[in-house]
Structure formats: C-alpha cells, structure tokens
Chain A
Amino acid sequence: MLGLTPEEWVALSLSLKVASVATLASLVPGLAVAWLLARRDFYGRTLLDGLVHLPLILPPVVTGYLLLLAFGRKGPAGAFLAEFGLVFAFRWTGAALACAVMGFPLMVRAMRLSLEAVDRRLEQAASTLGANPLAVFLTVTLPLSLPGILAGAVLAFAKAMGEFGATITFVSNIPGETQTLPSAIYTLTQVPGGEGGALRLTLVSILVSMGALLASDMLARRVSRRLGAA
C-alpha cells in the first residue's frame, strides 16, 4: 500500500508511536496546568503561564538544545532519570519528550479555554447536591470541557507528527530510533534520487494530519450532540 519502502514504513510507525506517547503522556499534566491557569489565582501564575508558552515562541532548535542540556546523558535531569532506567538521549523516548514539550502550549491553551467556558453555576448546583470538589470536577467540569480537551489532544498529536527542529537537535536523526517522518523527509531531500520517497512521505503526513483532524471533529460533534438537544 502507498508503495512505501521498508525504511519509510519504519519512519511512519515510529512517528505514530512518538506522537501517541507524547500526547497521552501530556494529557494529565496538561489538564492539571490548564486547570491551575483557568481556576486558581496563585503566586507565580504569570511565570507558569510564560513557561508553558515558551516552546511556542522559542526557536525549536533552542528548545531542543535546552532539552539536550537538561536531559542528555550528562544533564542533571538526564543523569537522575537514567538511574531509574529512563534514558532520553538519542532514543525514541527523547523524541517523544521533545514532541510533548513542543505540543504542550497548544494542548494547555485549548484545555484552558474549555475549562474557562464551563458554567460555574452548574458546578455550584452539583455541590449543593452533595458532590465534593473532586466529584464535581469528574462529573461536571470534565465532561463539559471534553470537546476542548479532545481538541487540545489532537492539536498536540498533530504538532508531534510534524515536530522537527527540537527533535533533531535533541535526539538526532537515527533511522529506526529517532528518525520520525519529518526527519526522514529531510534526509531524503538531501540525497540524490530521494525525491520520490520525500513525496510519498509528504503525502502520508498530509493523510495522517487530515485523519486526526477529521477524527477529532467527529468526536467533538458527538460530544456536543450529547450536551445539546437529544
């Protein structure tokens, strides 16, 4: 199918794995940060907001280099986590970390907007009925902000599929380990006769991105139908 070479299949499946792991691993921290920013007023709120948005405005190469400094074999976080067997440097896990960091601002932004849009009066009503704050969050806030949470996840996934600069800086471009779709396309454009492969992978990228968008749109529709008239 698609006439992909085995190497190209590897790049595609690696990309899907990296993007899925990056998205799933960011879900809970993303929701927590979004909730903090949407609902709590605390000292350092602006700083947290800025930190979350940093990867959006920094050159990706800078983000990748900072990740290398922190999570590389000799970096403080990297050395610490290596004790527990979690190695990021030049591994696919590092690519997932880079993608997660790059997609985080997009995910948090969408989640925060949807949390802010939840009618607080519904939460009040739930608490007068005996629901404690955690129950209110799980049974009212979360379901009502589900469309935004899904949108945030899809955005992060799409961003992860396309992430290039931070990934290649942090974990390089190792076929089968850290060579994701964009890295593979980049490599193919650098070698003679690689145009065909580059074009095929470009088509695959477009298909995957469109598929993710369509899926999220369908999910969001289903959720809002459930919220609206039956």
Chain B
Amino acid sequence: MTLAVDVALRRGTFSLEAAFTSGPGLTALFGRSGSGKSTLIHLIAGLARPDRGRIVVGGEPLLDTDRRLSVPVHRRRIACVFQEARLLPHLSVRGNLGYGRFFASRRAGLGADLASVVEMLGIGHLLDRRPAGLSGGETQRVAIGRALLAKPRLLLMDEPLAALDEARKAEILPYIERLRDEAGIPIVYVSHAVAEVARLANTVVVLEGGRVAATGPADTILRRAELLPAHEAEAGALLDMVVEAHDLAGGVTRLSGAAGQLAVPHFGRPVGTPVRVRLPARDVLVATQRPVGLSARNMLAGRIAALTPMGDAVMVEIACGTTAIAARLTRASAQDLGLVPGLAVYAIVKSVALDPAGVGIGRRTLEI
C-alpha cells in the first residue's frame, strides 16, 4: 500500500506545493507550524481540495484535478485522528467505537475486531463512559480505536499528542508503536516534535514553507541538523538495537546494535526486545584517544565520515560499524582536536543522557 501525493494550493499568502510518496509503516510529516503539514492531511482526507493535484492510495486515484475526479471523504476509507480527538459527545465510548465500525461493515461486510482493538489500546474499562468524562490520554486512545475500527486503508494522525502533557504523551506513545508494528495499516503522522518523530517514524518528510525540503528514512533525516528547521539542536542518530541484558545492581540495561553496545538507565523490557535509541548530537562527546578514568559508560569506536559546519557549531558524522552517529561540537573543539574525515575517534555518551522515555519499542526499518 503506497500513498502518492502531488498537490498545489494557494490561499492568500500561503502556498503549498508538495509531492511525496510513502509506503508501509509510519511516515512523519515534520515541520514547524504553518509549514503546511495539517493542510496536507486535510487534502489527503478529502476535507479540503487543492487547486490542482493528484492523490493516489494503493493504486486507486482519490483525487485528480486534471480528470475532475475527487472521491468524497466518506468513500476514501482514510481515517483521521485529530489533535482534539473529536469524539462524538452524545455517544458513549462504545458508541464512538461502533460508529466507524458500522459504516465499515456496511461497506465491506466486515468490521474490525472490537475486542482486539479495545485490548490493544487498553480501553476496555472505558466503554460505557461518555467522552466528556475521559482524561486527555484516554480520549486520544479512544479516538485511535475509533479510527482503526473504521477499517481504513490509511490512517492519518494530525498532531495527536500536541494537546497532551509529557506524562500523557509517554502513556500514548507505546500504543502508537504497537499500532505501527501490529495493525498493518500505513500511517501518516504529523508532528513538529523531533522526539516523537524519532521514536515513531520509519520515513520522514520535512516540510518548510509549503514545500518538501527533504524526504528519506528517519535515521538519515534526523542526523542532519540542516534538515530540521527550528530544531537544529535536536538532530542526532537513531539506532536500532536489541535489549541484551539487565544489570539490576548497576541500574542499567545493556543494548547492542550495529554501532556497538550502549548502557541506558534500566527499563523493564525483556531481553531480546528490539528498541530504537535516539542519540541527540548535542549529548555526544568526541575523543581522539580512548579516555580513561571517565564516568561515562558508553564509548563507541568509529571513524569520522563528514564534518558539516552549522553556524558556530560543527556536526560531526561518525561511522560506527554499519551505522552512523552524529556529534555536535563547537568549531573551537573541532579545530583543537584536529578532526578530519577518516580520523579514528571515540564517541562518548553518558548513560543517563539516554532517557528511557525516548527509547522506542520496535524496528525503525521495516522489511517490505
């Protein structure tokens, strides 16, 4: 199932001209507010129409202005999870969940399995409640369930976590990871938060000023600070790793992956669980010799692949095994160390800098 979008639209001073394709897994539309992310979502869902363009989902054209084709919203089979959830206030949670399922079963003769969706999202105890009585996190989980039960071929999520505090976000993120890995429905996810994108995305489309500034696998995009408008300081590596061991006495969990081994603050996932770790470039130190007498637990050996000036800083890309990590240094540090491409270095990360909340469950790259 692929989504191909190529649209243009002008509203006053705002103009959008964007083309991208996305495959299975989760594609993040990333950009600052006003970059056109939400407009794109509305165009894909059919809630707005572009001046010209084409939108094709799984080979079926949903919009083609040249052929004057526009499939109405309710026949697109594209479900949305909005920032404000938009649960129907006059129906119970059960009624909201059944709403999309009813239309899906009339259309395709099969509704999604209520019990498995309820179980996956942990909303069984809420079924007889009214939306007005739910917390923000519960509301958003019900909204996700409602969208899934409509049996969509594509799920759009428009900043579903933006209205929630950090604790509620942390509560929802694992559910979205399960959704991505288990439901088998491609997801287009709008966000302006690097941490969310790093944790969830397989593919990233960077939008700036209504244009696609870059598109590619999450790890290559997020490593490049120049592609993250307004979030340069949050650039960093994404590593696919596996839980290797728990050291309860030392309070750490050991992970291993292509880059080597990392120790992170202990978190309760069984050995063998695939995880993705975000290594923000600003938290990575660079040493030209193996340091001794250092408290930092993590030293990854590698070679400098590239040096990219970013204002007063330098982004250092270090090839480690078959993957790469990034470090952000001042120009002075880079000069004093005599960093040049090809130089063997050690990348050093404090374990506690690796926030367990930032450790995602599941694989970044999907087998297609």
Name A's B-contacting residues (CB within 8 A). Answer: 119, 121-122, 124-133, 135-136, 139-140, 143-144, 226-230
**Stretch in contact with the other chain, from B125-133, B223-231, B333-341:** B125-133
12 contacts between A and B (CB under 8 A): A119-B86, A121-B84, A121-B86, A125-B88, A127-B73, A128-B74, A128-B76, A129-B79, A130-B75, A131-B99, A133-B74, A136-B74
CA–CA, A130 to B45, complex, Å?
Answer: 11
Interchain nearest-CB distance for B17 vs A (Å): 24
Counting chain B CB atoms within 10 Å of each CB, the highest count among A127, A130, A136, A229 belongs to A130
CA–CA, A184 to B323, complex, Å?
Answer: 94
Interchain nearest-CB distance for B190 vs A (Å): 15
Given A125-B80, A127-B74: A229 and B150 interface contact (C-beta under 8 Å): no
Q: Is the CB of B130 within 8 A of A132?
A: no
Which residues from B are CB-within-8-Å of A127? 47, 72-74
Q: Is the CB of A230 within 8 A of B132?
A: yes
Nearest CB in chain A to that of B99: its residue: A129
Interchain nearest-CB distance for A140 vs B (Å): 6
Q: Out of B79, B84, B132, name the residue touching A128 (CB < 8 Å).
A: B79
Given A121-B82, A229-B130, A230-B129: A128 and B73 interface contact (C-beta under 8 Å): yes
CA–CA, A124 to B80, complex, Å?
Answer: 10
CA–CA, A133 to B100, complex, Å?
Answer: 14
Q: Is the CB of A124 within 8 A of B89?
A: no
Q: Is B107 an interface residue (CB 8 A)?
A: yes
Which residues from B are CB-within-8-Å of A144? 89-90
Interface of chain B residues 51 through 76 with chain A (CB within 8 A)? 72-76
Q: Is the CB of B90 within 8 A of A131?
A: no
Which residues from A are CB-within-8-Å of B73? 124, 127-128
CA–CA, A127 to B86, complex, Å?
Answer: 12
Nearest CB in chain A to that of B100: its residue: A129
Total interface residues in chain B, CB < 8 Å: 31
Counting chain A CB atoms within 10 Å of each CB, the highest count among B45, B90, B92 belongs to B90
CA–CA, A228 to B134, complex, Å?
Answer: 11
Which residues from B are CB-within-8-Å of A122? 86, 88-89
Nearest CB in chain A to that of B133: its residue: A229
Nearest CB in chain A to that of B80: its residue: A128
Given A121-B86, A229-B132: A128 and B103 interface contact (C-beta under 8 Å): no
Q: Is the CB of B99 within 8 A of A227?
A: no
Q: Is the CB of A230 within 8 A of B146?
A: no
Which residues from A are CB-within-8-Å of B76? 128
CA–CA, A122 to B47, complex, Å?
Answer: 12
Q: Is the CB of B132 within 8 A of A135?
A: no
Q: Is the CB of B88 within 8 A of A131?
A: no
Interface of chain B residues 23 through 70 with chain A (CB within 8 A)? 45-47
CA–CA, A140 to B96, complex, Å?
Answer: 11
Name B's A-contacting residues (CB within 8 A). Answer: 45-47, 72-80, 82, 84, 86, 88-90, 92, 99-100, 103-104, 107, 129-130, 132-133, 146-147, 150
Interchain nearest-CB distance for B208 vs A (Å): 27
Q: Is the CB of A130 within 8 A of B74?
A: yes
Given A130-B100, A130-B107: A230 and B90 interface contact (C-beta under 8 Å): no
Nearest CB in chain A to that of B130: its residue: A230
Which residues from A are CB-within-8-Å of B104? 130
Q: Out of B74, B86, B133, B147, name the residue touching A230 (CB < 8 Å).
A: B133
Nearest CB in chain A to that of B105: its residue: A130
Given A228-B132, A230-B130: A129 and B89 interface contact (C-beta under 8 Å): no
Q: Is the CB of A131 within 8 A of B74?
A: yes
CA–CA, A128 to B150, complex, Å?
Answer: 9
Q: Is the CB of B130 within 8 A of A140?
A: no
CA–CA, A122 to B89, complex, Å?
Answer: 9
Interchain nearest-CB distance for B130 vs A (Å): 4
Interchain nearest-CB distance for B105 vs A (Å): 10
Which residues from A are CB-within-8-Å of B147? 128-129
Which residues from A are CB-within-8-Å of B78? 128
Counting chain B CB atoms within 10 Å of each CB, the highest count among A127, A132, A139, A144 belongs to A127
Q: Out of A124, A129, A227, A230, name the residue touching B103 (CB < 8 Å).
A: A129
Nearest CB in chain A to that of B85: its residue: A125
CA–CA, A132 to B75, complex, Å?
Answer: 8
Q: Is the CB of B88 within 8 A of A126?
A: yes
Q: Is the CB of A125 within 8 A of B86?
A: yes
Nearest CB in chain B to that of A142: its residue: B90
Which residues from B are CB-within-8-Å of A230? 92, 129-130, 132-133
